[in-house]
């Protein structure tokens, strides 16, 4: 099978061109010869016979087993007995340590080669004599960037895992990524008027250097986090957790404000709890200090945030069995029925009854089998358990399969025969409102298919109906059912967030302040009634969905509906600054209402004894509207109030007179209807 290669060029002038060639052919074996003192290697066992294996010394074999992270039960004496009895073969010892990470990093390919042309590309000469190790490994397609300094023909930069520089036309290299610079480099700009002034884009953000990489400034003010997955706990205030592309797993309070006070205090509200490519997060609802999360290819941990203890919990195959395949973003799930029970999906589904301490495999291979590629394929991507019944399980794979088990993994049934073939199952979600209902989304962008695929079944997946309807062409990454309103659905696509108030019969874009960015994950904090939106490019957004949850079918048919109002606490600081240089604190009350059509409305605020304290006109749009009330008297309202109440009202420094403590009614009239809601100032 022919290995793939890739080349990228950098032009200096009409004649001089550099190219980096990612050569994926294997290195000659002579270049990878190992010394006897280095001990046994995986390659040694691939051709080793049984007699030769049994003659190995126990110390020599145990050194290999420990170095390659074999489980404790596999030590020289019992492994030899397994080989002697024919239960396993020596070649199985070479296969046992293999995983997706080792296949990426331990592959002995030739790697990066730099070529130079001085005749406009008619002929080329290889520049580097030695291997450029540690730059690309086996995935140069992810980097493959070469740049030449516009003012120095011999100064060349290579972007890969590190950032490398050559001052001799590509013959030799040194690293220039130093402190304060993240690895995995993808873009480099060189100032054509000032050599050594670099702007570098990498997996950690943007860095700037003025001394050719000796020192760097980190410029991470743009909010550009790439979240794979997010979750929330039940603390007050609740925390948000998220796994980021190549930036680990972070957590922080949902009400942390965006400011730079932490530069002074030294206390940044968000904390990193794990490195690598951050992946899915599950939090024990009984004890939020117990968190399950990890990095790519199923490398998961149980973390005690209180003590800082970490336990590695990835399920391990048995010696002689093919290694499990784990997706780049391996799915995990804590059972809602018992928070000691954890599910983890490889190519098979695994279950632990003791927080990941021990595992049992509860399914056969639920995929079409692995395929050769740059990352593991033929893996589970999503798992769901019904809240109605323990062991009512669903699993979806990256090669288009969806399976159900109604008996805790005792038996499995395929549900995906009618789906488009081979697409990535981006989400399977058992309904929280009906035991028989389940939702599935498929994603085809890896095959240049950008159709939105969303399905629902009302009979455990025996039959399916498409509910993508009027969603514009865009791959779907996630579907989420509201826990209070069964008709309310949210869908995240590669081009924004959509909401349905009628279980998918029609969809509306939900974009008030949210850009048209890839939405990769959604979660609802049920007590706060907040929807958290994890995007791959613009970090996390938070939306109050309490009004949306009240949109019943009856409400959708009404001409006007005002949604419930939150009570607010009175403060003597309203309208008054703390000092002569600070801004006054100003309160506000957002009044949300739904209008069946575009129409003018009159909004009136009345005191508990029906005195009009404020009134305004608003042009309502069809759909949801927000009227922001400053919690202050209008001039006429103040006069009306003072006529009825022999009391003193103090004017604040900002010139407004704010409402005193009490109960108030908001009345909105228009479109042939009048609606009211009350709130209190406490």
Residues 574 and 614 in one domain: yes
Alpha carbon distance 2, 40 (integer Å)? 30
Low-confidence winner among 205-214, 379-388, 467-476, 640-649 (lowest mean pLDDT) = 640-649
| Arithmetic mean of pLDDT, 430-446 | 97
In a domain, 133, yes or no: yes
User: Of the candidates 462, 362, 342, which has an alpha carbon nearest to the alpha carbon of residue 412?
Assistant: 362
Long-range contacts of 429-432 (CB under 8 A, 24+ apart): 429/384, 429/394, 429/479, 429/480, 429/481, 430/384, 430/385, 430/386, 430/387, 430/392, 430/394, 431/386, 431/481, 431/486, 432/387, 432/481, 432/483, 432/486
- The average confidence (pLDDT) of the chain is 93
The pLDDT > 90 percentage for the chain reads 82
Q: Which residues pair with 591 in a beta bridge?
A: 627
Confidence of residue 32 (pLDDT cuts 50, 70, 90): very low
| pLDDT (average), residues 344-373 | 95
In a domain, 494, yes or no: no
pLDDT of 519: 98
Do 50 and 89 reside in the same domain of the chain?
Answer: yes
Report the run of H or E that residue 549 belongs to, with start and end. helix 546-549
Are both 22 and 128 inside the same structural domain?
yes
Q: By three-state DSSP, how is residue 58 classified?
A: helix
Whether pLDDT at 266 is above 50: yes
* 255 in the same domain as 292: yes
Q: Is the same domain home to 45 and 22?
A: no
**For the stretch 229-263, what's the b/e string if a residue is b when 16 or more beta carbons lie within 10 angstroms of its beta carbon?**
bbbbbeeeebbbbbbbbbbbbbbeebeeeeeeeee
Sheet containing strand 599-606, strands side by side: 612-620, 599-606, 662-670, 673-681
Residue 244 has pLDDT above 70, yes or no: yes
Averaged over 391-408, what is the pLDDT?
98
**Same structural domain for residues 112 and 97?**
no
What's the average model confidence in pLDDT over 417-444? 98
621, 577: one domain: yes
If asked whether residues 16 and 115 sit together in one domain, one would say yes
Whether 287 has a pLDDT exceeding 70, the answer reads: yes
Helix (H, G, I), strand (E, B) or coil at 343: strand
Task: Transcribe 134-146 into DSSP letters.
Answer: TSSTT-GGG--EE
Residues 248 and 299 in one domain: yes
Per-residue pLDDT at 580:
80
11 and 125 in a single domain? The answer is yes
Whether 253 and 274 share a structural domain: yes
* CATH number of residue 638's parent domain: 2.60.40.2550
User: What residues does 126 pair with on adjacent strands?
Assistant: 115
Tokens for 659, please give them: 């409402």
Q: Is residue 213 part of a domain?
A: yes
Domain boundary among 262, 297, 314: 314
Locate 133 and state its tokens: 């190790």
Element containing residue 643 per DSSP (H, E): helix 635-644
Residue 379 within any structural domain of the chain: no
Residue 2 has pLDDT above 60, yes or no: no
CB 58 within 8 A of CB 66: no
What is this structure's pTM?
0.91
Q: Is the pLDDT of residue 414 over 60?
A: yes
Q: How confident is the model at residue 37 (pLDDT cuts 50, 70, 90)?
A: very low
Distance CA 266, CA 264 (A): 6
Interatomic CA distance for residues 419 and 449, integer angstroms: 14
In a domain, 308, yes or no: yes
Res 50: pLDDT = 95
Q: Which of 218, 251, 285 is the last residue of a domain?
A: 218
Q: Is the pLDDT of residue 3 over 80?
A: no
Tokens of 444: 């085809």
Number of domains, the chain? 4
- Residue 553 has a pLDDT of 86
Q: Which of 164, 185, 218 is where one domain is finished?
A: 218
* Residue 83 located in a structural domain: yes
User: CA 99 to CA 155: how far, in whole Å?
Assistant: 38
| Burial tier of 466 (Cβ tally within 10 Å: 0-12, 13-18, 19+) | exposed
Measure the CA–CA gap between 256 and 268, rounded to whole angstroms.
9
Which residues, in sequence order, are CB contacts of 431 under 8 Å at separation 6+? 386, 437, 438, 439, 481, 486
What confidence tens digit (pLDDT) does each residue in 54-86 have? 999 999 999 999 988 898 899 999 999 999 999
**Phi then psi for 264, rounded to 5 degrees?**
-90, -40
Query: For the segment 112-145, what is each residue's pLDDT rounded down to a tens digit?
Result: 999 999 999 999 999 999 999 989 877 788 888 9
- Tell me if 520 sits within 8 A of 243, measured CB to CB: no
Q: Is 129 helix (H, G, I), strand (E, B) or coil?
A: coil
What one-character-per-residue DSSP string does 414-456 give? E--TTSPTT-EEEEEEE-SS-TT-EEEEEE-GGGT----EEEE
> Tell me, what CATH number does 214's domain have?
2.130.10.10
* pLDDT at 641 exceeding the cut of 80: yes
pLDDT of residue 281: 98
223: confidence class by pLDDT, cuts 50, 70, 90: confident
- Mean pLDDT for 573-589 is 89
CB crowding 272-295: b at 16 or more within 10 Å, else e: ebbebbbbbbbbbeeebebbbbbb
105 contacts: CB under 8 Å, gap ≥ 6: 137, 138
Q: What is the pLDDT of residue 582?
A: 84
- What's the pLDDT at 5? 60
Q: Which of 531, 633, 541, 630 is nearest to 590 (CA)?
A: 630
In a domain, 299, yes or no: yes
CB within 8 A of 279, min separation 6: which ones?
228, 229, 243, 249, 293, 294, 295, 296, 300, 329, 330
Q: Is the pLDDT of residue 637 over 90?
A: yes
Provide the pLDDT for residue 408.
Answer: 98
The answer to whether residues 158 and 278 belong to one domain is: no
Domain-located, residue 155: yes
Is residue 33 very low, low, confident or very high in pLDDT (cuts 50, 70, 90)? very low
Q: Is 282 left (phi over 0), alpha (psi -120 to 50) or beta?
A: beta
Supply the range of the domain harboring residue 50: 30-105
Distance of CA 403 to the CA centre of its chain: 24
């Amino acid at each position: 099978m022919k290995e793939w290669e890739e080349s990228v060029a950098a032009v200096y002038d009409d004649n001089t061109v550099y190219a980096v060639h990612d050569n994926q052919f294997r290195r000659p074996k002579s270049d990878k010869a190992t010394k006897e003192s280095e001990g046994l290697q995986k390659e040694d066992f691939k051709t080793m016979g049984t007699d030769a294996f049994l003659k190995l010394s126990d110390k020599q074999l145990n050194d290999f087993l420990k170095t390659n992270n074999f489980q404790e039960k596999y030590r020289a004496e019992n492994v030899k007995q397994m080989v002697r009895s024919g239960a396993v073969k020596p070649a199985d010892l070479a296969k046992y340590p293999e995983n997706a990470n080792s296949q990426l990093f331990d592959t002995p390919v030739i790697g990066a080669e730099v070529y130079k042309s001085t005749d406009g590309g008619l002929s080329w000469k290889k520049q580097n004599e030695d291997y450029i190790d540690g730059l690309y490994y086996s995935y140069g397609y992810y980097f493959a960037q070469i740049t030449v300094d516009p003012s120095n023909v011999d100064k060349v930069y290579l972007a890969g895992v590190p950032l490398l520089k050559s001052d001799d036309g590509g013959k030799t290299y040194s690293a220039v990524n130093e402190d304060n610079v993240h690895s995995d480099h993808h873009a480099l700009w060189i100032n054509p008027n000032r050599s050594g002034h670099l702007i570098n884009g990498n997996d950690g953000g943007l860095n700037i250097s003025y001394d050719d990489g000796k020192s760097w400034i980190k410029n991470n003010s743009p909010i550009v986090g790439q979240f794979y997955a997010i979750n929330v706990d039940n603390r007050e205030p609740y925390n948000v957790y998220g796994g980021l592309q190549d930036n680990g797993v972070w957590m922080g309070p949902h009400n942390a404000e965006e400011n730079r006070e932490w530069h002074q205090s030294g206390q940044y509200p968000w904390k990193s709890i794990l490195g690598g490519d951050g992946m899915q997060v599950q939090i024990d609802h009984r004890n939020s200090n117990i968190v399950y999360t990890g990095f790519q290819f199923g490398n998961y941990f149980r973390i005690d945030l209180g003590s800082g203890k970490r336990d590695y919990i990835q399920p391990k195959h048995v010696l002689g069995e093919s290694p499990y395949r784990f997706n780049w973003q391996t799915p995990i799930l804590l059972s809602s029925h018992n928070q000691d029970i954890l599910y983890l999906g490889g190519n098979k589904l695994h279950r632990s009854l003791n927080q990941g301490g021990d595992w049992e495999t509860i399914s056969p291979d639920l995929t079409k089998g692995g395929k050769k590629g740059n990352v593991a394929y033929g893996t589970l991507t999503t798992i769901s358990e019904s809240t109605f019944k323990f062991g009512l399980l669903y699993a979806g794979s990256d090669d288009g399969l969806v399976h159900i088990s109604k008996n805790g993994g005792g038996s499995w049934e395929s549900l995906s025969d009618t789906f488009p073939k081979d697409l990535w199952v981006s989400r399977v979600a058992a309904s929280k409102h009906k035991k028989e209902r389940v939702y599935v989304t498929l994603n085809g962008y890896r095959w240049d298919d950008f159709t939105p695929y969303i399905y629902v079944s009302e009979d455990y997946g025996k039959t399916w109906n498409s509910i993508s309807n009027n969603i514009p062409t865009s791959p779907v990454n996630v579907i989420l059912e509201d826990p209070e309103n069964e008709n309310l659905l949210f869908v995240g696509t590669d081009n924004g967030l959509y909401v349905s108030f009628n279980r998918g019969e029609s969809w509306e874009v939900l974009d008030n302040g949210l850009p048209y960015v890839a939405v990769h994950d959604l979660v609802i904090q049920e007590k706060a009634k907040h929807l958290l939106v994890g995007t791959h490019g613009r970090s996390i957004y938070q939306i109050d969905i309490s009004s949306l949850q009240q949109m019943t079918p009856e409400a959708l048919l009404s001409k006007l509906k005002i949604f419930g109002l939150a009570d607010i606490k009175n403060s003597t600081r309203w309208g008054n600054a703390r000092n002569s240089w600070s801004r006054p604190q100003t309160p506000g009350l957002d009044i949300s209402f739904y209008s069946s059509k575009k129409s003018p409305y009159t909004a009136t605020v009345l005191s508990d004894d029906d005195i009009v304290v404020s009134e305004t006109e608003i042009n309502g749009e069809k759909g949801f509207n927000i009227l922001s009330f400053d919690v202050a008297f209008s001039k006429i309202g103040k006069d009306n109030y003072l006529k009825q109440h022999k009391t003193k009202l103090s004017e604040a420094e900002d010139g407004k007179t704010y409402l005193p403590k009490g109960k108030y009614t908001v009345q909105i009239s228009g479109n042939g209807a009048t609606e009211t809601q009350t709130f209190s100032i406490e």
